[in-house]
Amino acid sequence: MTTAVLPAEYTVRPPVPADSGAIFALVSAYNTAVIGTADCTLADITNGIIDPGFESRTDGWLVLDRDDVPVGYGTACGKGNREVAEIEVLSQDAMVAGWLFDRSLRRAAEMGREAGHADVTVDSYVYGADTSLRALLSEHEFSTGTTFNRMRIDHTEPVATPDVPAGYVVHRGADDDRTRRIAHDVIIECFSGQFGFVARPHEEWLEARAAYANFSWSQFTLLELDGKAVAFRDCSDRDVEIENCGHIDGLGVIESARGRGLATYLLRDAFALDAAAGRAGTILHVDTNNPTPALHLYLSVGMRPTLVIEGWRRTMPATR
């Protein structure tokens, strides 16, 4: 396979926060062409650029035409100790997309090499309907690792607040350092081993949340048993602007507490809160290969799949 070449009429530079509006327009147009909706907000774009784990100078590429209008955008984001990198490539110009893909892969390999790894695992997420990007991934020796369904439930009338499971205590909000440490530990325990999850250092995790415009600690919920946190729900306003819906960013139960209806309670509690706030519905994403029967759970409480997103993966030498 030959290395892609950027057309001569285009220039490339790192993204900066001031580019957020122009990148948002590019992403919105691309997504609308693929799935019929923008599926992003200006805050999403800004958050990606200012995320503490992202170094835009080396890890992002904004391709501009002669009029300085963005025609392509790509990123490579290292995770953990850079043993994993997540790349994103977006352009309706096939040559630009190919160049961004090659550049992001090279940067992913550099990250792994700089961290002393012989290999690096590279992940990328793509809409199931995006045939051109799926083809590009396949050409670069990626294969599908899992499939995510976007799930939604509509709230057309008030939703009853569920009873708290007997013996458990609901802790709403995470306003102090101790609770935030517990929250982070529970997330890691629940999600370790799942596709794409790599635990962030605690301080970086806190900094990323502080920078996320649609997040509030007041929307974080823990379930405790005998003083120990055993389940969590992490919500944000990410979908309020687009669809007037609440969004569940994460929900999990530690292994020893599964099978007791805790996830069902947390879901129904979120539905009641969203309905009371006047939200049209509640949205979340589920890995269909989740080791727990999560998809069955969401279907059982009335949620329905509305969109397919695939997780693609390749492990390659860090010497690329």
Domain boundaries of the chain, sorted by first residue: 11-141, 151-309
Model confidence at 45: pLDDT above 80: yes
pLDDT given for residue 106 in this prediction? 96
Q: Give the pLDDT score at 319.
A: 80
Whether 11-141 and 151-309 share one fold: the answer is yes
| pLDDT at 316 exceeding the cut of 90 | yes
Average pLDDT along the chain: 95
Arithmetic mean of pLDDT, 80-96 = 95
**Predicted pLDDT at 253:** 97
Query: Does 206 score more than 90 pLDDT?
Result: yes
Mean pLDDT along residues 284-310:
93
Q: What is the mean pLDDT of residues 167-174?
A: 97
User: Would the pLDDT of 126 be above 90?
Assistant: yes
pLDDT at residue 63 is higher than 70: yes
- pLDDT in the model for residue 291: 77
Q: Can you give the pLDDT at residue 310? A: 98
Percent of the chain with pLDDT over 90: 92
Nearest of 212, 208, 197, 312 to residue 252 by alpha carbon = 197
Helix-helix angle 94-114:131-139, to 10 degrees: 50
pTM of the model: 0.93
* pLDDT tops 80 at residue 296: yes
pLDDT at 320: 57
pLDDT of 281? 98
Tell me the per-residue pLDDT of 104-115, one tens digit each, with 9 for 90 and over: 999 999 999 999
pLDDT at 290: 80
Dihedral sign for Cα 311, 314, 315, 319, please. negative
Residue ranges with strand state E in the chain? 11-13, 60-64, 70-79, 84-90, 119-127, 143-154, 168-172, 220-225, 228-236, 245-253, 281-287, 304-317
Give residue 1's pLDDT.
43
Question: Averaged over 74-98, what is the pLDDT?
Answer: 96
Question: Domain 11-141 - what CATH class?
Answer: alpha beta
Which of 3.30.450.20, 3.40.630.30, 1.10.287.3610, 2.40.40.20 is the CATH number of 151-309?
Answer: 3.40.630.30
Span 255-272, pLDDT tens digits: 999 999 999 999 999 999
